[in-house]
Structure 1
């Protein structure tokens, strides 16, 4: 059964009028003699004036003489329309029917209908209050499965449409997840959902919903603007609740000149549920993408994206704009950083800081100020990294933060990576549409990998050595030559280095492999030779060699091939010499990493400089040809236009 279709199973004792109710609903008139059990009936949405009705509603009549079939129908139902008509069938409600439902393990809403109330002459006739008090109230108090009770008459065509609507409402807008029938209190999950909605609707974050904020959240929930009369009625309702209800006497529900409080918002929705108007609360919940289980719809949190295996996912301009606004909104002291309290408050509407962030030592994985508070630059860099590594985390948190559009519009998918061939060897084509690049920092322990990450985040160099066990990440923005901005993710692999380098999927996500060695340690470079010898597949990933601690005395490496010689034999550039004491060398390293990510051939093993220069010329010639073609077409079009203009004269 899809969510667009619900199944209503009509059940009850023999002779209570189940079939008559169904045929009266469908035909719109009473038919005295109907067959014993009606076939299944499908009622389309157009049949009902209920705006919240599903696309199709299936009505199923039941035969008590076939218990196996009856049980199958009950188990497949979305809601049970339980019918009785006299004292005997009323007694069997608790003795047989409710017991049967429970024995089958059913957790379904039950709409209880007393049929053959033939004193009802039309839909607007008042209920018999004696029946309501004597029959409905006790059974609803004893059996929480029964969501609502109603009187009807198939003969008089009364109460049937209302009963059908109540069955639809029991599925579309169930009361059970909202209100505890025994205590008449909102349930914890309902409170948590409404708290989040209040938080997101409180745009100025002052703890009150002012008139504009109420109008805005109402418009978002009901797709219409409320007028001043509705607004005043809401305020009057909250005032009356605080005066007449003992439970609210000491709580502030509405404060003049400020607005509705969080307690007032909860009290209002509790009253909706108590008065049978819980579809109002559900309209609010649905607008914020809540399901019947009061969890946010997974389809909204994780929209389906078709991402080719060699493509990456980045934030779009809309995504960046939303995250900038979010940062500025919660930077209460306007100091350019989110302190611990501001950060905690920002994540109030979410399950908390993403696990991906916690595992990467956030906020020290990105740019922070001198008090270790994340800056706007670091905030955007962190989300760029998150989107690149696992875009589903980003879409989910955008929804949690209240992004009002489909989360997919906050993302963009880059073109698949192209593989070119030259002289029988493959290499990655130049990159033109990406701004986020991923680099693995690899090398022997104590060669300076962590210092590279710290330097990238403008942290002070420390002589204290601390071995890296778990993978470590640093992400920051980088200004390229010509002023172009990109984001660079540097990953130190720690003790998982071996496993990650053997993982094809992770290597495919690596744009550059940065191979580090300590130029002052004669045993350092041999580690890289062994690495490349063991993992021959690494020749498919662009590589750069880096000699760290270049401010110290350079040592001859104890291996058969020296760094410069190996680089030349692999047709790569000589190692780049850097030092934490030379800031310009570090900046050169980061730019080189980004340049290599953009032009992968420059770092691809086995291509002499002549081939690389030829490839650059090929790319230039290709663009020149495109430009020439455009020029020829333009000249031809201009000439043709002139000729046509002349012929008209």
Structure 2
């Protein structure tokens, strides 16, 4: 598996910017001049202007721009700016001045950390020709420093005067950018990093065409040609397998190189400093320096604010197959370990954090049913379709974006046409603290309110609802009372909402008043922005003593605003009054249940009056035109007869 020498396009880098820093007099400028001219300069300026090495200077064929810096206090701001714009930093000390070596640990490296520099650091000992022969070796000097400062990619000594290892300084700097160690390998644990393992596992599976869990000689050769544009000779294949088998017997079986052996080979390449081999493989399969699929491989999604995407039947069928494949115990549920295995070829499990971690129905063992599995995918597609597509690709989907998703019609058009074609509905749940918002979401997932995990901010719940023989996915988004005002500062905040629910504690008059205020705020926002949404009022805790005033007022308000009267429910008694079907029904009839405020009524009446006035004026004008025409005909006839 020889490494290719064309990392330029694969790394997505048009050029590498290397910034040289260090104490005064350590040889920064001499180093820059020496690499550019291949000679030691007699007269060196205090700071060299930016110097460019051509693309063909090193085998990777990526041009390098070298930026020299001054370490004087008055140039500090410029030095910081250059460091923050650097792809790599060359940090110098003078081999004949131990004090400059100490300054690496006491000033320069801590300062780079303080600046939160992400670029790799190459530590360079300049003036090697002046180093005292009695000094300890570079390895002994740098080992404790590199142990403390893991951002150091490598260390090297050089001499501009003697032209010793000068080009190598910038070769290592370029290599650290194009083929960085940090994303691939954990130096402390001496093992491949999890993301690297996951990416290589996916690549292995893609290359294992016959799905027998091993790369045959033919598959290994195909892999070699794809990544390195050169075939492997039979003797080379035998040699690779022999090396693996000697070090790791389980890395090879009768069918060929196993995943264990494949990972071992890459760890071996990295340990031997051949990072370009692994990076070439990763980049050939579309990975960037963060070991995720490159952004340019992800489609640009264009849609209106009130449009959402949904999974196609092709993508859903693929997900059903994946579910069954990883349901190894055939219990019709994916346990957490099975789900982790399913996502083991993605950079991480996308559902291991909010809002996905606790948003779907689980069985007593924590297993996710097929409906729950598909509901989570529907939620991810609703909230982040690009991430949803990326994870489809990670778990093996081979179709393009258009085959996986369909863009739904604008909600405004749905309201005008008085029907919708959506299969996934998003319901915003508003209400005061303690009204029962979380309890409603938990009951939707078949749980007790006490089962809810602690969560800051919004909570989601996704599940399927059967209505008139069709299954629809309903997504609840719980909006904390304190977040409503900030939510409504965004003009398009209701654009993705299919229906809004306003829940209050029916035994508490104050709870109703606060819910009413939220209803008016949301309805007003919808009228002002054009993103009106159907609304339902839910009277929760129906098992408690009702507040007569709250019941009377909520009924009056619902009638005044032209929406359905409050729906009583009791989560404790599990008397939910068919609430979930009623929410889906309201979403399917998007022109109904839209509340109207007093301001909205006045505005509508004004428009109606204006339209009637315009109509009267239009009719009057038409009558006048007809009258003039008739008079002209009459006059013409009269003139003719006379």
Name the TM tier (shorter chain).
Answer: 0.5 to 0.7
Distance 1:469 1:18 in 2: 56
Deviations 1:470-514 (A, max 9, x none): 776542234555x76532124566xx4565488426655432234
Partner of 2:536: 544
1:601 aligns with 2:622: no
Distance 1:568 1:497 in 2: 24
Task: Give SS of 2:199's match.
Answer: helix
Matching residue within 450, 457, 473 for 1:487: 473
Deviations 1:141-165 (A, max 9, x none): 533558376999999x999877764
Distance 2:279 2:135 in 1: 25
Partner of 2:108: 104
Distance 1:467 1:15 in 2: 62
Partner of 1:418: 412
Distance 2:153 2:40 in 1: 29
Distance 1:316 1:570 in 2: 37
Distance 1:222 1:65 in 2: 47
Task: Give SS of 1:600's match.
Answer: coil
Which shows bigger deviation, 328-337 or 404-413?
Answer: 404-413
Matching residue within 197, 200, 205 for 2:199: 197
Distance 1:82 1:455 in 2: 60
Q: Any residues of structure 2 matched to 1:405-484 within 5 Å, and which? A: 414=408, 417-418=411-412, 430=418, 432=420, 434-440=422-428, 459=446, 473-478=460-465
Return the offset for 1:252.
3.4
Distance 1:394 1:440 in 2: 22
Superposition RMSD in Å: 6.2
Contact 2:438 2:478 in 1 (8 A): yes
CA distance 1:276–1:407, shift in 2 (3 Å): farther
Distance 2:219 2:321 in 1: 18
1:570 aligns with 2:561: yes
Contact 1:109 1:174 in 2 (8 A): no
CA distance 1:224–1:411, shift in 2 (3 Å): farther
CA distance 1:402–1:447, shift in 2 (3 Å): same
Distance 2:476 2:73 in 1: 68
1:341 aligns with 2:347: no
CA distance 1:137–1:388, shift in 2 (3 Å): farther
Contact 2:227 2:284 in 1 (8 A): yes
Return the offset for 1:536.
1.7
Distance 1:369 1:180 in 2: 37
CA distance 1:559–1:478, shift in 2 (3 Å): closer
Q: Any residues of structure 2 matched to 1:144-293 within 5 Å, and which? A: 147=154, 165-175=171-181, 187=190, 190-201=192-203, 203=205, 209-211=214-216, 230-240=236-246, 242=247, 251-257=248-254, 259-260=256-257, 264-286=261-283
CA distance 1:113–1:319, shift in 2 (3 Å): farther
Matching residue within 354, 370, 379 for 1:385: 379
Return the offset for 1:374.
1.7
Contact 1:398 1:407 in 2 (8 A): no
Which shows bigger deviation, 306-315 or 71-80?
Answer: 71-80
Contact 1:448 1:548 in 2 (8 A): yes
Distance 1:216 1:497 in 2: 58
Distance 2:313 2:124 in 1: 50
Return the offset for 1:280.
0.8
Distance 1:159 1:502 in 2: 59
Partner of 1:23: 37
Contact 1:18 1:83 in 2 (8 A): no
Structure 1 portions without partners, runs of 5+: 25-30, 117-133, 243-250, 421-426, 612-649
Contact 1:9 1:81 in 2 (8 A): yes
1:532 aligns with 2:506: no
Contact 1:113 1:163 in 2 (8 A): no
CA distance 1:265–1:571, shift in 2 (3 Å): same
CA distance 1:538–1:257, shift in 2 (3 Å): same
Contact 2:214 2:257 in 1 (8 A): yes
1:332 aligns with 2:331: no
Distance 1:502 1:62 in 2: 46
Distance 2:73 2:565 in 1: 85
Return the offset for 1:223.
7.4
Distance 1:171 1:465 in 2: 50
TM-score (norm. length: structure 1): 0.61
Contact 2:502 2:537 in 1 (8 A): yes
Contact 1:111 1:148 in 2 (8 A): yes
Distance 1:428 1:538 in 2: 20
Distance 2:158 2:212 in 1: 44
Matching residue within 353, 356, 359 for 1:355: 353
Aligned pair count reads 540
Return the offset for 1:235.
0.7
Task: Give SS of 2:373's match.
Answer: helix
Partner of 1:6: 16
Partner of 1:123: none
Partner of 2:617: none
Return the offset for 1:381.
0.8
Which shows bigger deviation, 199-208 or 501-510?
Answer: 199-208
Contact 1:154 1:160 in 2 (8 A): no
Distance 2:171 2:460 in 1: 56
CA distance 1:228–1:414, shift in 2 (3 Å): farther
Distance 2:453 2:176 in 1: 56
Partner of 1:615: none
Distance 1:527 1:97 in 2: 69
CA distance 1:419–1:404, shift in 2 (3 Å): closer
CA distance 1:16–1:534, shift in 2 (3 Å): closer
1:376 aligns with 2:370: yes
